[in-house]
Structure 1
């Protein structure tokens, strides 16, 4: 990648706090200068948030396809799997280019949502599925908009564009189930519980562990960002170097 990254590479350590909460009071601090623009703490943490979201919403979509009792819930589940597979492809493409370490497991809070819904069936599953996912997508929607409007990094900007479309689509399909309790959902979205930071942080991956891949469904309609078109040959060379090193980011 040559001179793609310079300065403060040591600052790209795994984020100290991620999830649905703000990760730092210095999110605008530049932690690396790259050929695609400066990378801030907020940019880095956003890429990790998008990855972590897929690590629980993608399998939850698969569960919804098995447990959902209405056509609308099944459709919403399809959108989760489709959209997060495409977002994950983009995250895995740009992470090694920006020297960002991606998690392989979602945060404990996010994993808790999956555990809860695994134990439910019938109407209870459908209702909690729609409301939990409407709440979490609503929570991240403002973060996506902020990153899109403030980032100076073209790769992060492209991911934010894709995330904006995906999150809005997922909010919409949850609402179309007819099961969303807006008073309760918006209250939880705007007044989240005070959880320990450890509950909101995806654990760092084990050293040398291969990245978990969220495989697109056979009938995928969502597409990843054309990173090669944005970054040129550097995208392929950087991703290849990361794969050869066995790091993935």
Structure 2
């Protein structure tokens, strides 16, 4: 029997409403709609090549991502209800520790100040997941992580293709490998709803700049270090070629830095 036009319309409306209501259960996922016009502006001339606004923002965002995804990985390891969920947590912890090693190595060379706290939006992500339990915990964590990783993936490619700075290019290489690894292990949980993820990634939203921007560290504040976890035998990145010789020693390769994992350990003060 052919389905009536009214019936089709009702089904479509129900589907759209379901996606909308589900999206409202999470903090706003989309960043600033209007990007600054000065992203190509060169802010520093370095021995590794010019550093642009976009390059500097990228390093800060990679650092900021680890400040919330590492704690979320620890939560998944402790409270995930399946082996696949716990494995995803391990990959989040190890991957962002490795990225953090590189961020902390290159930031002082490039004159970049790194944050010690994630943005208010990112902290809200963690609080949202932490408030759940059981299967709802798994689904919430996977959905938020899959959406945010899907959003950052093309941004990494854009930086990799456009930057003229060798250190930023190295970080983009490792970030690309790490994010792809994280997307893969999240999908292995079989909890990704691709229609929902697509809707949440593309839904128009404008967030206040202070909501999506990590706060700067206070003068003299100890730097938070995402500490290595050699007990986790996880590889999240491909090999990274050595940095060109310069006055400073190169950062560790992906294979050595990937073993690092983040915990809130104070290190040297931030200037």
For the aligned pair, the TM-score class normalised by the smaller chain equals: 0.7 to 0.9
Alignment of 1:61-210 (within 5 A): 61-210=73-222
Distance in 1 of aligned mates of 2:72 and 2:248: 31
Cα deviation, 1:12-71, whole Å, max 9, x if unaligned, reads xxxxxxx94475221111111100000000000000000000000001100111110011
Q: Is the 8 A contact 1:62 1:77 kept in 2?
A: yes
2:51 match: secondary structure: strand
TM-score, structure 1 length as denominator?
Answer: 0.83
Structure 2 match to 1:230: 243
Change (3 A) 1:168 1:226: closer
Which of 38, 55, 77 in structure 2 is aligned with 1:26? 38
Change (3 A) 1:101 1:154: same
TM-score, structure 2 length as denominator?
Answer: 0.77
Q: CA shift at 1:224, angstroms?
A: 9.9
Cα deviation, 1:155-212, whole Å, max 9, x if unaligned, reads 0000000000000111111111111111111111122532211110100101111210
Q: Is the 8 A contact 1:94 1:155 kept in 2?
A: yes
Structure 1 match to 2:17: none
2:65 is aligned with 1:53: yes
Distance in 2 of aligned mates of 1:61 and 1:210: 23
Structure 1 unpaired stretches of 5+: 1-18, 238-245
Structure 2 unpaired stretches of 5+: 1-29, 251-267
Cα deviation, 1:128-160, whole Å, max 9, x if unaligned, reads 111100000001001000000000000000000
Work out the number of aligned pairs and report it: 223
Change (3 A) 1:165 1:36: same
The RMSD of aligned alpha carbons is 2.2
